[in-house]
Chains A and B, each alone.
Chain A
Amino acid sequence: MNASHDTLDDLISQEYQHGFETAIEADAIPPGLSEETVRLISARKNEPEFLLQWRLEAYRRWLKMTPPSWASVHHPPIDYQDIVYYSAPKSQKDGPKSLDEVDPELLKTYEKLGIPLHERAILAGVAVDAVFDSVSVATTFKEKLAEVGIIFCSFSEAVQHHPEWIKQYLGTVVPVQDNFYAALNSAVFSDGSFVYIPPGVRCPMELSTYFRINAKNTGQFERTLIIADKGASVSYLEGCTAPMRDENQLHAAVVELVALEDANIKYSTVQNWYPGDKEGRGGIYNFVTKRGDCRGARAKISWTQVETGSAITWKYPSVILRGDDSVGEFYSVALTNHRQQADTGTKMIHIGKNTRSTIVSKGISAGFGHQAYRGLVRIARSARGARNHTQCDSLLLGDRCQAHTYPYIEVKNNSSTVEHEASTSRIGEDQLFFCRQRGLSAEDAVSMIVNGFCKEVFKELPMEFAVEAQKLLGVSLEGSVG
């Protein structure tokens, strides 16, 4: 088995490929957090008074909160006074009028990341909103989307042009006091994406955001708000990378999704933040709050995530199933290798009648990787006829890795059905032998088996993301046959 372990290590210990730093002059405020910092960020962004007050409220609450200690992750305490809370590429100051005006260095960065803005937009029909450090630098396809009434812009822009939406929805899914990191984000968030899909509109293309942390000692606190009005539908993709650094960097984002009656939101993430080196030095602390609210009947929110990066991931994309017959889904692949830690899962809160949820979680733990699935399925007394199915599997690829499962199931309704299945096992020696006997190399056999293990989740990803996800897992699958 040693042979396969070695090759497996090679496979998933590939050098981090997005670890370059871009030499762009940044406009940053000094590190540290105080009421003054909050006011400064708000002022830089020329925000309306209500938003400033909202931030200050969050800040005051945050001061009284303590970081969560229940997660099965370990890290030295974070010095919140040592973080830069606002950093923007300088040339951004006046704002690019079109893609041509975007700093060519920046565009090169995106190319290195494998997302040439122009081509990707044109060829793949993906509208990209790119967030670099803290601010959104370019949004493509804006005009085309505007024709059908879709608003897709940076959060700051939405604050300027559509403050009514922000006022109505911001913090209604993830309240400022929800948790320590959400409160921090609410106080200091710098930018993010905003999407509004009007009633009955199917968004004609996949919307996409790429996040990148570039500057040193920078925290990234973006805020995303997606509203799908009655009968609207949208598929949103998010990708993340960061340069290699020895220090840990904090990423505390908040994503809020609102789906009204018959609306459908699909949110996919491929998270490849810098995971730190083999000994666990450096890497991103990815402490993210993502939650969707199915407010109307028959609404549907689906989360798909592929988490391969970050030193520590703390993330529970959740769905509140308020509307009758609404649907929540969570599909996740998480890989932890070397010293990576992940405590991730989901919450499905069933409130409406006949609400349904599906959870498929695939965890792969290698090296000294440390992984926990933590999930909550709550069926309220009002959720008559609710159903949940959870499948939660772990694959182990090294004798020093850890895989834990903590599923909380709370049922207060006798007409509901909840099923939870979980398994943990080592990659099968029989399977490896079988594949190699058919002539496949050990590493191909491993990647094939790992990929098969994740298939249920990958098939939920949009095509181009699925390919990326497979690559991220070190899988070199050829184009599918037939």
Chain B
Amino acid sequence: MNPYLEQCQVERQKRQTDPVDSADQQRRALEWQRFDECGWPNTRLEKWKYTSLSSLEKLALPTALVRDPGFVMGSQDFLRADGLVISWVDGQIDLENSSISELPAGVEILFWSTMTPDERDKFAQLLVQSRRLSALGALNGALLSEGVWIRVSPGACLEVPVFLIHQTSQSCAMHLAVVVEMAVQSQLTICERWMSTRDQPTHVNLVTAFHLAEYAQLTWIKAQQGGNGSYHTAGLWAALLGHAQLRLYPFGLAGSLVRHDIQVLLQQPRAECTIRGVYRVCDREMQDFHTSVEHLAPHCTSDECFKGVLDGSGKAVFNGQVRVALDAQKTQSQLANHNLLLSEKAEINTKPELEIFADDVRCSHGTTVGQLDENQWFYLRSRGIEMETARHLLVHAFTREISDAIPHAGIRDVMNQWLGDDCYGA
């Protein structure tokens, strides 16, 4: 057993002494057993072929219960938009800096730490699929430290976004869960920001579940801005009923190792899913997106585009899968992945997969790997723009196409700005 897992065992023992909720204990035990069966991910597994967790393995990361007293909250002045803020430090809710004391009508927010055993049971039910996305999902089930459950009632349309702002004050591991339940015709925007400003090893192991009823609309934006030594593994599972619309905007901007497993199920006719994402890596960084969109009913559409910028000795993996089930006729699906390789040592492994079991479909995918357009670069420089600036400008333009698609103006502006920041700075 590696040091990471040894520490997990310690954490597990700690939790087993907590007698409050025996059903919860039982669930954790089962999840641990399931994790044992899956085993620690290794590069012999197809899904982990290009992504090694060997550096995480060596870290014994405890769960933090008390915040480091020397910690100063990061500035939140990026929140130019009104919204409901849920602030987290080291994976614990920080109510002091949150603004959820008064919730608008139609929205309900529960935290795992204060749920009743019944609620915990339902919460766990809603996360079953998310935790099956990878072995780390099972680990999350065994070691869950905190979670949030957002429920939006039928027809409720929240005008302001919900912000989930995560920061860390010390070296620690967090096993967190998010569930969003969208009732019929409800609308919501969620924006997550993950920071670990100090260069200390941290591991966020997150599972997320989105359940969208008919005609529900959910927009989700995630900015992942970890520092040196930050590990982030996230499984996101979403299920859409008829006419529901899901828009996902994951931005992997920085972090030592970031892995996303995203699975979207279009379960009923005319559900729609749009994914627009960016991954950006520089020296010794790794971003890995595994996405899977499953068309299970006729007349659904999906449109996915990821752009990658790879610099230094950075490495990225993109595995985009589209599956069209038998009888999911009239499916329309597009998948694109474009990569800029900026340095000699950067590396990209990409695989856009199609699995099609129906015939009346229109599916396409396109992938490119290339460099900055010489002509554009030359043009800018011939106009007197300094080389680095020109390069920066063009890279920003490349990824900005993705952030420009974010519907919420305030969040879009901030994301545009972050994309413009150098990946070593900010």
Contacts and interface: CB of A to CB of B under 8 A. Distances in A.
Contact, chains A and B (beta carbon distance below 8 A): yes
Interface of A: 70, 379, 381, 394, 396-426
A404 B353 contact: yes
Contacts of A426: 359-361
Contact of B368 (A408, A420, A422): A420
B364 A402 contact: no
Contacts of A418: 367-370
B356 A409 contact: no
Contacts of A398: 359
Interface in B343-371: 343-344, 346-371
A409 B365 CA distance: 13
Chain B interface size, under 10 / 10 to 19 / 20 to 34 / 35 or more: 35 or more
Interface centre among A407, A412, A424 (most CB of B within 10 A): A424
Contacts of B348: 409-411
A331 B362 CA distance: 23
Contact of A399 (B329, B352, B368): B329
Given A409-B350, A411-B347, A396 B356 contact: yes
Contacts of A423: 362-365
B356 A407 contact: no
Closest 5 CB pairs of A and B: A414-B341, A418-B369, A396-B359, A420-B367, A405-B354
Chain B at the A interface: SS class: strand
Nearest to B329: A399
12 contacts: A396-B356, A398-B359, A399-B359, A404-B354, A409-B350, A411-B341, A411-B350, A418-B367, A420-B366, A421-B367, A425-B362, A426-B361
Contact of B367 (A401, A409, A425): A409
Interface of B: 46, 50, 310, 326-327, 329, 339, 341-344, 346-371
B364 A403 contact: no
Contacts of A399: 326-327, 329, 358-360
B321 to A, nearest CB: 9
Contact of B351 (A403, A406, A412, A416): A406
A408 B369 CA distance: 12
Given A414-B343, A414-B346, A402 B354 contact: no
Nearest to B358: A399
Contacts of A396: 356, 358-361
B305 to A, nearest CB: 14
A394 B356 contact: yes
B371 A417 contact: yes
A191 to B, nearest CB: 37
Nearest to B343: A414
A68 to B, nearest CB: 13
A419 B359 contact: no
Given A407-B351, A411-B348, A422 B361 contact: no
A421 to B, nearest CB: 5
A421 B339 CA distance: 14
B349 A409 contact: yes
Given A70-B46, A414-B346, A418-B368, A424 B361 contact: yes
Interface centre among B310, B343, B352, B369 (most CB of A within 10 A): B369
A408 B364 contact: no
A420 B369 CA distance: 9
Contacts of A410: 50, 347-349
Contact of B341 (A406, A413, A424): A413
A422 B364 contact: yes
